[in-house]
Amino acid sequence: MTASSNGSDPENLRRRILDTARHLLVQEGYQNLSMRRIADAIGYSATSIYLYFDSKDALLHTLIHEGMMRLHDRLEAAAAQHPDRPEARLQALCRAFVQFGLHNPEYYEIMFQLRPERMERYPPDKYRQARKNLDAFAAALKAGAAEGAFVVTDPRVAASTVWASLHGTVSLLLADRVDARIAPDTFIDTAIRQVMQGFRHTPAPSAP
Amino acid sequence: MTASSNGSDPENLRRRILDTARHLLVQEGYQNLSMRRIADAIGYSATSIYLYFDSKDALLHTLIHEGMMRLHDRLEAAAAQHPDRPEARLQALCRAFVQFGLHNPEYYEIMFQLRPERMERYPPDKYRQARKNLDAFAAALKAGAAEGAFVVTDPRVAASTVWASLHGTVSLLLADRVDARIAPDTFIDTAIRQVMQGFRHTPAPSAP
Amino acid sequence: MTASSNGSDPENLRRRILDTARHLLVQEGYQNLSMRRIADAIGYSATSIYLYFDSKDALLHTLIHEGMMRLHDRLEAAAAQHPDRPEARLQALCRAFVQFGLHNPEYYEIMFQLRPERMERYPPDKYRQARKNLDAFAAALKAGAAEGAFVVTDPRVAASTVWASLHGTVSLLLADRVDARIAPDTFIDTAIRQVMQGFRHTPAPSAP
Amino acid sequence: MTASSNGSDPENLRRRILDTARHLLVQEGYQNLSMRRIADAIGYSATSIYLYFDSKDALLHTLIHEGMMRLHDRLEAAAAQHPDRPEARLQALCRAFVQFGLHNPEYYEIMFQLRPERMERYPPDKYRQARKNLDAFAAALKAGAAEGAFVVTDPRVAASTVWASLHGTVSLLLADRVDARIAPDTFIDTAIRQVMQGFRHTPAPSAP
DNA sequence: CATGAATGAGAGTTCATTCAT
DNA sequence: GATGAATGAACTCTCATTCAT
């Protein structure tokens, strides 16, 4: 008889709590995510959750951290596809970011849409690490500028505005706020094309 | 002595409820906005609010509607500044949108950051009207394309992606998620420049 | 039909909450006094208590304050019986204090046996007023010393030690810690006689 | 290498549980003393405590018993200092009692300030033994009366009232309820002097 | 027009304790 | 001898809402 035969080997429940929290997050929304609901969903008492997490905050912070790591992986993988072509690399990063958001709405929600008050309690060291996700964008922009493909004054600022555009794109899609007559793929493609175009050279605006 | 001299004419209280709700929204955040708190803030009983609004949802929907109208006004005013120059008009629209978000964080929060579940209950007719705010962007893009300043396939789609970028920009700023080392104005200017550039002509990418 | 016909006129419930809290306090002990239990005892929902008291602390502080006032009354009445005879006055005060404690064990418990942590939150102004209860003892001692009946160095200190003795007496009786073979009245009389004797003149201890 | 060298010989953990409970008692207060906290403080699981104590009550009762024994030792030692001089002996006993209380607030709290409900469950045989601590006082009073130094009707009663006074003194000091302007030593000295004086001869109060 | 009274549901969290291993 | 897993009951407190007046 193995430990897993009763479905309750140690790390398993912790994992189930996290997963259930994620699912509830996307199903019921952050506002309706409560310890009791999580407990009910996994068929355990609310008390049990506290065996694995010190508090609701700790649980959420764990989810945020997981999401950050996962996003980090996705971005690294995307960047690795085009080590020598900054432009293609930036595009891959954008696409990877959007895909991550759409495929992991739960993670996305707590990572980027948590109200500032909750975020304040997020451990600073983890927060700093999260910021690193922007570096991939900045690096691609800098490299692109170096080889003359992009016009970029400050890569850090440019990376932030790129992020802003992508974030807006994902947010609206997740919130179902995009005109229903527009196909999501069209929306995404257009958004990314617009972002890419945003740093390209342009001929002087045609004088009248 | 008029009815309004003692501050209790009919419409007055309704107005105060709405205004107080807005202020609480920005001060305490959406999560902490409760009927009781609104009532306490205006010095009336919680019950009184129900004389003017059927439910908390109804109150929020009214606020959303007001915000949509206000945004509509701002965008119209911005568009009117440059009736003949689509490019300048688009830029003015972008700037107006961002300014609206930053100057009216309460409205912005409930208008664009409310969870979908709440939004589902938003009356469809009002919702449709809200969509119209996008039309100003679409019109400017279409006009710009007509005179050859922009490359735009579908103005409606392009308007949506513009909106997405602006929404991301405002969201990150309001949530205090932008790198503290970047000045807000720099961030905004860069974001808008990037959006504008996103639809300009470009020389064909140099083929290898 | 009068307001009280359904047993729920306004101030009535507040009064019942306080009284019920007092009774539970002596029946179940401070540790087991909960908002729910109070609510259950009066047949109302727990929420209702919060209509009359901001918090559990506020409720307890109200009880403490009431107790202090009541004790104050008792002491004043006792002192008034012997305005001109300090010795008799002191004795009356002692007796009044002990009687108050034994007749109002609930008040006594929260007034004098509340752990310091809870007491810290007691409003300072009310606390200061509570201290005044000691003044009656100090005054009697001072007056007695003035006419040569007592030997008292510092009336404030002496009042405190008198209070200590009485407090110990009441505490042990309430906690049922006095040897069951000793009649309570005997115990009380002896205790008070001992206190009174504590400040009288004494001939030099008889040399061998 | 002995069994105790790794800090885990049988009786050791039991001892550590008791000691830790005592320390937590004085640091955090009785209300905040929980099995979990004790376990955490010693680095063992909460379950382990139940290997040595049947329940929280049993643990507390053990502590109470220990305290009683310890107090007994202190009082015996004090009494032994003045075997032939009852008056000095009584004073030494008083001082020893107060010192014990102030130096062992943890013990004192559970020994004398535990609510009656908890006390009811205290095993009767241990309780009876606890009573013996009063005997030392009674003996000194009796001896003093025998040699004419004290006026004592019933030594058992007198011992109880002495105890009451001392208990009040210690209680107020521990609860920080003594006027901050009075130095603790002054308070203690005055209290003890008052107690001693309480049994001395007095000239008949001058009749008018 | 406005309120006071009242509530059920639910929030996060802590507790002493049990049981199988 | 010691533990990890688990729980039911309890805690204070907040919420949107209803109803009679």
Find the nucleotide nearest C12 (Cα to C1′). Answer: E5
Residue D193 C-alpha from the chain's centroid: 20
B10, burial (CB in 10 Å: exposed 0-12, middle 13-18, buried 19+): exposed
The answer to whether residue A116 neighbours chain B at the CB level (below 8 Å) is yes
* Residues C16 and C91 both lie in one domain: no
Looking at chain A, the whole-number percentage of residues with pLDDT higher than 70 is: 89
Q: What average pLDDT does range B10-35 have in this prediction?
A: 89
- The reply to whether A42 Cβ lies less than 7 angstroms from strand F is no
Report D:45-84 residues touching C (Cβ under 8 A). none
For the record, the structure tokens of C155 come out as 């009336």
Torsion, Cα of D54, D58, D60, D65 (10° steps): -140
* Residues D73 and D151 both lie in one domain: yes
> Are D161 and C169 in contact (CB < 8 Å)?
yes
> Are D197 and C195 in contact (CB < 8 Å)?
no
pLDDT value of position C99? 98
pLDDT value of position B26? 87
Chain B partners within 8 Å of A154 (Cβ) = 186, 190
Query: What CATH code is carried by the domain that includes residue D29?
Result: 1.10.10.60
Residue D183 backbone class (left: φ over 0; alpha: ψ -120 to 50; beta: rest): beta
Find the nucleotide nearest A49 (Cα to C1′). Answer: F6
Q: What average pLDDT does range D144-160 have in this prediction?
A: 94
pLDDT value of position B7? 45
Q: Å from C51 (CA) to E4 (C1')?
A: 10
Q: How many domains in chain C?
A: 2
Nearest CA in chain A to B194: A198
Residue A208 located in a structural domain: no
Does C touch D (3+ CB pairs < 8 Å)? yes
* Residues C87 and C19 both lie in one domain: no
Q: Would you give the end-to-end CA distance of chain C in angstroms? A: 83
DSSP letter assigned to residue D206:
P
Q: How far apart are CA A56 and CA A69, in angstroms?
A: 20
pLDDT tens, residue by residue, D5-59: 344 556 789 999 999 999 999 888 888 899 999 999 999 999 999 999 999 999 9
Residue B208 located in a structural domain: no
For the record, the structure tokens of A193 come out as 């094309």
3-state DSSP of chain A: CCHHHHCCCHHHHHHHHHHHHHHHHHHHCHHHCCHHHHHHHHCCCHHHHHHHCCCHHHHHHHHHHHHHHHHHHHHHHHHHHCCCCHHHHHHHHHHHHHHHHHHCHHHHHHHHCCCHHHHHCCCHHHHHHHHCHHHHHHHHHHHHHHCCCECCCCHHHHHHHHHHHHHHHHHHHHCCCCCCCCCHHHHHHHHHHHHHHCCECCCCCCCC
Give 3-state DSSP helix, strand, coil % of chain D, rounded to 5. Answer: 75, 0, 25
* Residues D100 and D29 both lie in one domain: no
> Are D161 and C131 in contact (CB < 8 Å)?
no
Whether the Cβ atoms of residue A66 and residue A18 lie closer than 8 Å to each other: yes
CB atoms near residue C145 (< 10 Å):
17
pLDDT tens, residue by residue, C73-111: 999 999 999 999 999 999 999 999 999 999 999 999 999
Residue D176 backbone class (left: φ over 0; alpha: ψ -120 to 50; beta: rest): left
Find the nucleotide nearest B28 (Cα to C1′). Answer: F14
Query: What CATH code is carried by the domain that includes residue A40?
Result: 1.10.10
* Residues B74 and B98 both lie in one domain: yes
The answer to whether residue B203 neighbours chain A at the CB level (below 8 Å) is yes
Residue D1 located in a structural domain: no
Q: How far apart are CA B37 and CA B42, in angstroms?
A: 9
Out of B149, B160, B199, name the one closest to residue A187 (CB).
B160
Nearest CA in chain B to A111: B177
Q: What average pLDDT does range A177-193 have in this prediction?
A: 95
Q: How confident is the model at residue D4 (pLDDT cuts 50, 70, 90)?
A: very low
Residue B61 located in a structural domain: no
Find the nucleotide nearest B14 (Cα to C1′). Answer: E1
pLDDT value of position D22? 95
- Shortest CA gap B53–chain A (Å): 22
Report C:164-183 residues touching D (Cβ under 8 A). 164-169, 171-172, 174-179, 181-182
pLDDT value of position C30? 87
- The reply to whether B36 Cβ lies less than 7 angstroms from strand F is yes
* Residues D30 and D123 both lie in one domain: no
Query: What CATH code is carried by the domain that includes residue A184?
Result: 1.10.357.10
pLDDT value of position D208? 44
pLDDT tens, residue by residue, B165-196: 999 999 999 988 899 999 999 999 999 999 99
Report the candidate in D135, D125, D201 with the shortest Cα–Cα distance to residue D162.
Answer: D135
Whether the Cβ atoms of residue B165 and residue A196 lie closer than 8 Å to each other: no
Helix (H) or strand (E) holding B80: helix B56-81
- Which amino acid belongs to residue B190? T
Q: How confident is the model at residue D122 (pLDDT cuts 50, 70, 90)?
A: confident
Helix (H) or strand (E) holding C109: helix C105-112
For B8, residues 6+ apart whose C-beta sits below 8 A from its C-beta are: none
Report D:134-153 residues touching C (Cβ under 8 A). 134, 148-149, 153
CB atoms near residue C37 (< 10 Å):
16
DSSP string, D66-100: HHHHHHHHHHHHHHHH-TT-HHHHHHHHHHHHHHH
Q: What average pLDDT does range A11-33 have in this prediction?
A: 92
pLDDT value of position B10? 59
* Residues C43 and C131 both lie in one domain: no
Q: What average pLDDT does range C169-195 have in this prediction?
A: 94
Residue D208 located in a structural domain: no
> Are B31 and A117 in contact (CB < 8 Å)?
yes
* Residues D38 and D79 both lie in one domain: no
Looking at chain C, the whole-number percentage of residues with pLDDT higher than 90 is: 70
Q: What average pLDDT does range A39-63 have in this prediction?
A: 95
Q: How far apart are CA C71 and CA C77, in angstroms?
A: 10
Q: What average pLDDT does chain C have?
A: 88
pLDDT value of position C116? 67
pLDDT value of position C1? 37
Its domain, for residue B98, covers: 67-197
> Are B117 and A28 in contact (CB < 8 Å)?
yes
* Residues D165 and D120 both lie in one domain: yes
Residues 31-50 of C near strand F (Cβ < 7 Å)? 32-37, 46-47, 50
* Residues C146 and C44 both lie in one domain: no
DSSP letter assigned to residue C122:
S
pLDDT value of position A10? 60
Residue A25 located in a structural domain: yes
Q: What average pLDDT does range A150-158 have in this prediction?
A: 94
Q: What average pLDDT does range A97-102 have in this prediction?
A: 98
Residue B202 located in a structural domain: no
Beta bridge partners of A22: none
Q: How confident is the model at residue B2 (pLDDT cuts 50, 70, 90)?
A: very low
CB atoms near residue D94 (< 10 Å):
25
pLDDT value of position B113? 83
Q: What average pLDDT does chain B have?
A: 88
pLDDT value of position C121? 80
Q: How far is CA D176 from CA A185, C60, C183, D182, in A?
A: 71, 19, 31, 11
* Residues C90 and C171 both lie in one domain: yes
* Residues D48 and D73 both lie in one domain: no
Q: What average pLDDT does range A163-190 have in this prediction?
A: 94
Q: How confident is the model at residue B28 (pLDDT cuts 50, 70, 90)?
A: confident
Above 80 in pLDDT, residue A9? no
pLDDT tens, residue by residue, C185-197: 999 999 999 999 9
Q: What is the CA radius of gyration of chain C?
A: 20
Residue B28 located in a structural domain: yes
pLDDT tens, residue by residue, D67-117: 999 999 999 999 999 999 999 999 999 999 999 999 999 999 989 887 766
Q: What average pLDDT does range C7-36 have in this prediction?
A: 87
Q: Å from C62 (CA) to E3 (C1')?
A: 26
Helix (H) or strand (E) holding C17: helix C10-28
Segment among A57-66, A105-114, C36-45, C113-122 with least mean pLDDT:
C113-122
